[in-house]
A and B are shown apart, each in its own frame.
Chain A
Amino acid sequence: MNFTWLPWLALFGALLPGPLRRLRIDPALVAGAVATLGLGLLIRTTPEVVVLGQTLKSSVPWVPSLGLAISLRLDGLGFLMCGLILGIGLLVVLYARYYLKPEEATGRFYGPLLAFMGAMLGIALSENLLLLVVFWELTSISSFLLISFWQFSTDARRGARMALTVTGLGGLALLAGVIWIGQIVGSYELTQVIEHADVLKAHPHYPAVLCLVLLGAFTKSAQFPFHFWLPHAMAAPTPVSAYLHSATMVKAGVFLLARCYPFLAGTELWFYLVTITGMLTLLIGSFLALFQNDLKGLLAYSTVSHLGLITLLFGLDTDLAPKAALLHLLNHAVFKASLFMAAGIIDHETGTRDLRRLSGLFKPMPVTATLAIVAAASMAGIPLLNGFLSKEMFFTETLDADDIFGRSWILPVGATLASVLSVAYSVRFVRQAFFGPPATGLEKTPHEPPRWLRVPVELLVLLCIAIGVAPALLVGDLIHAAASACVQGELPPYTIALWHGFNTPLVMSIVALIGGILVYARRERLFRGVEARLSVSQGRRAFEGIVAALVGSSQRLERALRLDQVTTHLRGLLACAVLVSAWLLLPALARVSPTNTSGDLVLWVLCGVALFALAGVLLKSERPLTAIVYSSIVGLAVTLTFAYLSAPDLALTQLLVELVAILLLLAAVPHFGLPPRDKRSSPVRALDGALALGVGGAVTIGCWLMLSTDVASISRYFLEKSVPLGQGNNVVNVILVDFRGFDTFGEVTVLAIASLGILALFDHLAQRQAPSDLRPRTPLFLQSVTKLLLNLALLTAVFLFLRGHNAPGGGFIAGLTAAVGLVFVYQARNPTGAPARRPASMSRWLAAGVLLAALPGVAAMLFGRAFLTAGHVHLPLPLVGEVHLSTVLVFDLGVFVVVVATVLAILPTLGRLPLGKPTAEEER
């Protein structure tokens, strides 16, 4: 096992917590074990990657035609990121174990958490840019699941939606940019792209590529103007905020900037775009943080501003700027995660996160308060803590950087201003939460949290102090390796030290400290009136405004084109069908001389019966039950036609499908009520009539051409090869499960998915119960006889199933037979009462069916054959004789299960839904 296992360990480990929870194993243990194992694997590579600065690589082809391969690389930069992901991940798992209540759906929490961890590790370790985008989107999805963990909260759902939309949009832009890079360079592998960096930077499309990639990075890292989703994501549980929104996911964007540094940075466009965005975000974030009343909101805006700081540093063109950026990436993750956890502890112990209600918490929880104060001091940039070091480096780099718009003071002044504000909000955080008179009116009496809830915070704060005091010893090598990997070259020597002499950056820090305290003290006077105008997030208003405008205009367009009616779509489809058929068939009609196709008398009679029944359906459409009876006559006529033409398989299938369809119609029709009057105007009716004639004509001409020309069809191939290749005498069945097995597999999957969708709809509707006193009784005879018939039906189903390969039968027919028998029993026993069991249990059967169908196909792959290659075996059984078994039997069994589950999912519930519209009571 080496580092290449890291992403898969976490991704496949994500499948464990849910099922294990049902077995009473704590999912947190699983998550912790995965994180620890990952950390161990990572640390094993320290000598090569960190100390020696090497890069480890591995590659497995995936889709060679697209240039997509599972290529992984571990260099200093990846090591830094993975260390953060796994280390802080482990602490978050420990924290979440004691934060979440035991009865909460922890399986649904740790699963996506591990999936997220795996996806982040994938981003950090990707060598192939397309693979990186795949993992990028995975993080968006898993973060969506994590943010909306408390599904009952509107804020959580809205925050999750907003986050997904914004980061998803960025992901699309990133994909476009990456594909473009691949086109320009010729490969998606990072090593190749770095080699051709000059080509890329000189290319005329470079600005567009840069903008797309930056869009992806900026949306993920919540840079202005895409910063608004991060504060709304604070509706997530605090462990999620501590992990995703301080330490890892939002760092993915700046990590991308670091990864793209060798081949996208160094141009003036990069300098202006990235630096200015970073500067704006830095200032806006720290300004807004000062006015937040929510603890987590303050920390969220602070995160936004620190990310702006890191972005700004990546934008600068000095040699050491990347090093400063990476140092701050590490430091910020450490102190911000601990601050979030502390905020979570406060929330856990007091029941509120509102700074206006909290006060004087130092006395009841001194240890936690001290930890939080140290972390906040690191955030503000107090010496002897890690935040101070990266702030100092930040100031140094802004002083060394090029002029923006010809002025050299913009960057340093902006940096100092942002630090002033950062000190101000840190002081606010500490002062208002921990000092002052004891809080009154809290739901719970504050006290120290459980021991293990505090341990992660203790460890992180310890790290803050340790790095602050002895940086070169602890992280010097790591940051150097990471920065070298980032720039792919040599860096000027620089030791991260506590004291660099009394220079300008130190002065800036002192100014920031004093200024910050002053700003906090005078904040009411300075910012009179500002607070009121900041009440609702402008970003959210803009976002929701855009979404509402899009939805509104789409709906208006839909109504104008009448696209909300089914008839419009139907007319469109039929018109297309008529036009395409005319285009294809009419030329053929001219070329063909129709031969004599008189047909059998029997076929003419059957055709006449079908037409008569069709007329009945059309004329009797006001009485739905009568129309259904007539339509069943059409089905019977078709069945008899098949039987007459010696197609027993088709006849059986048609008969059974007809049966199920009639049952479905009978169950569904009472819900529709009387069909409405025909309100179409005469021209529209004429159009519909013309369309009907056109479709009928096209089908007639098509059939006539088929029957009158001598076409060499592929049926001859199937008839000849069915026994030698498929080893079955029933050609239809062999085609279904062997020759065209992949199609059948696709259809079975689609059927299962459609049934799952119907189940989801029913889940909502079936909760309306019919009043029990109106339940009619079915005759006792019916109930007994259906049980008897069920046995017969099941026996017949098994018989049809087993003989399907060599005689008419097969999985589909057998499934329908069994399903019909079961449905009869259901209906006879209890036609309108409450469903005996929730329809959702059928979803497990549907999944089992699809998996069964896939099983022999996948097993064939394990033996080195193509997917869905069939295997045969001849077994001599004692009494029965020699039995010929084939793996397609398992495939057919899968089809059987899916068919039965579909019918059982739909019919019994449909028959039991109470009629009529839901009352206002039930709507709620």
Chain B
Amino acid sequence: MAEVVVSVLLVLGAALALVGSWGVVVLPRFLSRIHGPSVVTTGGLGTLLLASLIWFWFDGGRLTGRELLVSFVLAVTAPITGHALSRAWLARHPKDPVDLGPGRDDS
């Protein structure tokens, strides 16, 4: 039973990671692209960590807080990183800070 749950979670997590990475590659503007990594870290990795937690709880026989700790750290650092990156981008492109139209495609 636990194996089914773990397998589903693994696939789900991988899919989320794929979607997030795809977004980083495909989306045109930086401010849209910045959403990609946050999906990967929180959604994708969070799901994978949940899978790991359940696997080691039921099949490995121990319940530790390691995965929760990792999730906590990710949840704290991912938004801050995104924030810092956006601020850096804004500092480099002061002329059009928020341009929702067909914007410049640069890093």
Contact = CB atoms under 8 A, between A and B. Distances in A.
A792 interface: yes
A785 B77 contact: yes
Listed from nearest, the 4 A-B pairs whose CB atoms lie closest are: A785-B80, A781-B80, A782-B84, A779-B87
A242 B84 CA distance: 66
A789 interface: yes
Interface string B43-87: 000000000000000000000000000000100110010011001
Nearest to B76: A785
Contact of A778 (B73, B76, B84): B84
A781 B73 CA distance: 14
B71 to A, nearest CB: 14
A781 B83 contact: yes
Contacts of A789: 73, 76-77
A750 interface: no
B14 to A, nearest CB: 14
A782 B73 contact: no
A778 B91 CA distance: 11
A532 B80 CA distance: 77
A474 interface: no
B84 A776 contact: no
Contacts of A779: 80, 83-84, 87
Contacts of A615: none
A792 B91 CA distance: 30
A794 to B, nearest CB: 14
Most buried by A among B73, B76, B77, B80: B80
A785 B77 CA distance: 7
A626 B76 CA distance: 26
Contacts of A782: 80, 83-84
Interface residues of B, number: 9
A625 to B, nearest CB: 8
17 contacts: A778-B84, A779-B80, A779-B83, A779-B84, A779-B87, A781-B83, A781-B84, A782-B80, A782-B83, A782-B84, A785-B76, A785-B77, A785-B80, A789-B73, A789-B76, A789-B77, A792-B73
Interface string A772-800: 00001011011001001100100000000
B55 to A, nearest CB: 17
Interface of A: 626, 776, 778-779, 781-782, 785, 788-789, 792
A64 B75 CA distance: 65
Interface of A is mostly: helix
A561 B26 CA distance: 51
Given A788-B76, A792-B73, A776 B83 contact: no
Nearest to B87: A779
A672 B77 CA distance: 31
Interface of B: 73, 76-77, 80, 83-84, 87, 91, 107
Interface of B is mostly: helix
Contacts of B77: 785, 789
A279 B100 CA distance: 96
Contacts of B83: 779, 781-782
A626 B84 CA distance: 18
Most buried by B among A626, A776, A785: A785
Contacts of B80: 779, 781-782, 785
A785 B76 CA distance: 8
B91 A776 contact: yes
A778 B87 CA distance: 9
A781 B77 CA distance: 10
Contacts of A626: 107
A905 to B, nearest CB: 25
Nearest to B79: A781
Given A779-B83, A781-B83, 10 more contacts: A776-B91, A779-B87, A781-B80, A782-B83, A785-B76, A785-B77, A785-B80, A789-B73, A789-B76, A792-B73
Contacts of B91: 776
Contacts of B84: 778-779, 781-782
A485 B80 CA distance: 82
A135 B83 CA distance: 64
B90 to A, nearest CB: 11
A792 B77 CA distance: 12
A778 B107 CA distance: 20
B92 to A, nearest CB: 11
Contacts of B87: 779
B66 to A, nearest CB: 12
Nearest to A788: B76
A779 B107 CA distance: 20
B37 to A, nearest CB: 13
A776 B88 CA distance: 10
A792 B107 CA distance: 32
A803 to B, nearest CB: 14
Contacts of A781: 80, 83-84
A915 to B, nearest CB: 15
A626 B83 CA distance: 21
A779 B80 CA distance: 9
Contacts of B73: 789, 792
A776 B90 CA distance: 12
A785 B84 CA distance: 11
A788 B107 CA distance: 30
Contacts of A785: 76-77, 80
Nearest to B91: A776
A779 B88 CA distance: 10
Contacts of B107: 626
A626 B106 CA distance: 12
Nearest to B72: A792
Nearest to A785: B80
B93 to A, nearest CB: 14
A785 B81 CA distance: 10
Nearest to A792: B73
A416 to B, nearest CB: 87
A792 B72 CA distance: 12
A792 to B, nearest CB: 7
Nearest to B69: A792
A789 B69 CA distance: 12
B65 to A, nearest CB: 13
A779 B84 CA distance: 7
Nearest to A828: B84
A788 B73 CA distance: 10
A777 to B, nearest CB: 9
B10 to A, nearest CB: 16
Contacts of A776: 91
A626 B91 CA distance: 19
A789 B73 CA distance: 8
Nearest to A789: B77
Nearest to B73: A792
Nearest to A776: B91
Contacts of B76: 785, 788-789
A792 B87 CA distance: 25
B13 to A, nearest CB: 17
A781 B80 CA distance: 7
B75 to A, nearest CB: 11
Contacts of A788: 76
A501 to B, nearest CB: 99
A539 B39 CA distance: 78
A781 B91 CA distance: 17
A249 B13 CA distance: 79
Nearest to A781: B80
A792 B83 CA distance: 21
B53 to A, nearest CB: 19
A776 B84 CA distance: 12
B6 to A, nearest CB: 20
A789 B84 CA distance: 16
A776 B92 CA distance: 12
A390 B83 CA distance: 88
A626 B107 CA distance: 10
A373 B83 CA distance: 83
Most buried by B among A778, A781, A788: A781
A781 B84 CA distance: 9
A249 to B, nearest CB: 62
A645 to B, nearest CB: 20
